[in-house]
Amino acid sequence: MKLSLTSLLGPVVVGPIVVGPVVCAAVVGALAVPAHAAPAAPEVPSTLVPPAGNQVFLEAHATGVQIYRCDAATGAWTLVAPRANLYADNGQLIGTHFGGPTWRARDGSYVTATKVDEVNLDPTAVNWLLLAMKTRSAGADGDRLAATTYIQRTATTGGRAPAASECDVTGEIAEIAYTADYHFWKATVA
């Protein structure tokens, strides 16, 4: 005896239409595809968690440098600006990060932010941060970052200022390689 899905399951009634099991399985399969889930919030110290009413909508992996300037009179390095490329999980370039601090998406949208708090989890790496949106705007080609309310910097490696003993020429610039994850938050829809 030859068996088929139709002989096993028979026709399926969907509303007033009778369809075979293969068509029904295709429709059910298409409906079962999950919606694109928002990125998960990172695990961070409580002082780096944005207020309730915000959710992560974008995660970017940064690779770049932290740029420092020497003041030989004080023997201190001062942060001038970051310079980094921002990548999606699939490795695609999605934007840049530079002085301000500013994050700009490829669509031209951007956000600038101010530091709310910081925590050092690794003495060889720049601090993890929570930053609040200062200014933001849509770009000529879209608004990927225009809804940003908060930004977290996590999973940092490198980027720390050189030792004070290496600051002996005023105005000398040092570019220190770093990586980090940036988590962009927006207000939740009520």
Q: What is the mean pLDDT of each run of 10 residues along the chain (190 residues)?
A: 41 43 40 61 97 97 98 94 97 97 98 98 97 97 97 98 95 98 91
4 shares a domain with 85: no
63 shares a domain with 15: no
Residue 46 domain flag: no
Q: In the prediction, which pLDDT does 119 show?
A: 98
83 shares a domain with 17: no
Domains held by the chain: number: 2
158 shares a domain with 84: yes
98 shares a domain with 28: no
The helix (run of H) or strand (run of E) holding residue 94 is: strand 93-98
Q: How far is it, in rounded angstroms, from Cα 152 to Cα 129?
A: 5
Q: How far apart are the first and last CA of the chain?
A: 58
Q: In the prediction, which pLDDT does 35 show?
A: 52
Q: In the prediction, which pLDDT does 69 show?
A: 98
63 shares a domain with 16: no
144 shares a domain with 103: yes
Token code pair at residue 152: 């977290």
Query: By residue range, what is the domain housing residue 121?
Result: 54-187
181 shares a domain with 153: yes
DSSP structural state of residue 6: H
Residue 165 — φ and ψ, nearest 5°? -65, -15
172 shares a domain with 83: yes
For the chain, give the number of residues.
Answer: 190
H-helix segments, 10-132: 21-31
